[in-house]
Amino acid sequence: MQAFLIFAIGGFIAQLVDGSLGMAYGVTSTTILLAAGMSPALASASVHLAELGTSLASGLSHWKFGNVDWRVVLTLGVPGAIGAFLGATALSNISTEAAEPWMSTVLLALGLYVLARFAFRPLRRRQLTGVSSKLLAPLGLVAGFVDATGGGGWGPVATPTLLSTGRVEPRKVIGSVDTSEFLIAAAASLGFLLSLANQNLSWTTVGALLLGGVIAAPLAAYLVRIVPMRLIGVGAGGLIVLTNARTLIKDFDLPGPSHTIIYSVIAVAWIAAIAYTVRVIRAERHQPEADPADAAEAVRG
């Protein structure tokens, strides 16, 4: 029962972050499972099985509100599913000793990206001409592979890349990426189930992650209204970086004094990023509201 509650809290935190940012459910929940001592392959498998439920619910919600471009979903999602299956198979067939540093390195890089992505203002959209399949297909393949082998990464890789093109409405970028994530979760789950048939996958952990995510979903939607999205992103990114840096320090058995230096550098950078983000948000809120749409975006972060 204690383990169930711990993993349910992990799923709650992960969905709270993902529901507020539109990304990072896998990154956050996998980080929590690794910190609890679960092997990389089982952690990623548990997260992707739980994501079958969370991504389906998210996709249906976005479809209901008209936030889905089905061409983007299919052109991005089908190659993504192939990449996710290959990534799940690859992760399941390497040793835990080799997999843990790899996964922590991927998660650390994604945490740094999330932190930087939300500390600085995103690019404004340009002409909405649509994104070519020449970008969508390889992007999906790479993002799907990273997502499965790193325990997360579909949203952090795919969403910012598409937003940066400025060629698709932001709401449809987030809605389409979230909807296509069901294909990635299904393909990765299939790959893990086939490759980990002889290992004891904990369905209690999967259920706990799913339950925590379902409970957090409405609270996350409320937080989006009252807390600047950028501030949540910087906070979550710093936490992911700190947690995975701890794992890497342990894996590489670094000497004692270096621990303090590394943690201090991360802490100082994290605090500086939070302070900078708060200052920018406050400055934007006091700017003249020349354009109502821009002003609303600034207040939201």
Supply the pLDDT for residue 300: 46
Rounded Cα gap, residues 216 and 286, in angstroms: 32
Q: What percentage of the chain reaches a pLDDT higher than 90?
A: 24
Query: What confidence tens digit (pLDDT) does each residue in 66-85 have?
Result: 888 999 999 999 999 999 99
Decide: helix, strand or coil at residue 272.
Answer: helix
Supply the pLDDT for residue 19: 66
Supply the pLDDT for residue 221: 58
One-letter amino acid at 101 equals P
Rounded Cα gap, residues 24 and 279, in angstroms: 24
Rounded to 10 deg, the angle between the 133-150 and 96-119 helix axes is 130
The model's pTM is 0.72
- Token reading at 272: 């500086």
String of DSSP letters for 26-65: HHHHHHHHHHTT--HHHHHHHHHHHHHHHHHHHHHHHHHT
One-letter amino acid at 21 equals L
Phi, psi of 37 (to 5 degrees): 100, 5
Supply the pLDDT for residue 165: 74
Q: Pick out the chain residues at pLDDT < 70.
A: 19-23, 96-97, 121-129, 164, 166, 170, 220-226, 229, 288-301
- Token reading at 8: 């349910």
Rounded Cα gap, residues 111 and 82, in angstroms: 24
> For residue 251, what is the enclosing H or E element?
helix 229-251
Torsion of CA 189, 40, 108, 77, to 10 degrees: -10
**Could you tell me the CA-to-CA distances from 74 to 71, 77, 85, 163, 258 in Å, in that order?**
5, 5, 16, 18, 47
Supply the pLDDT for residue 45: 93
Radius of gyration of the chain (CA): 19
Supply the pLDDT for residue 293: 47
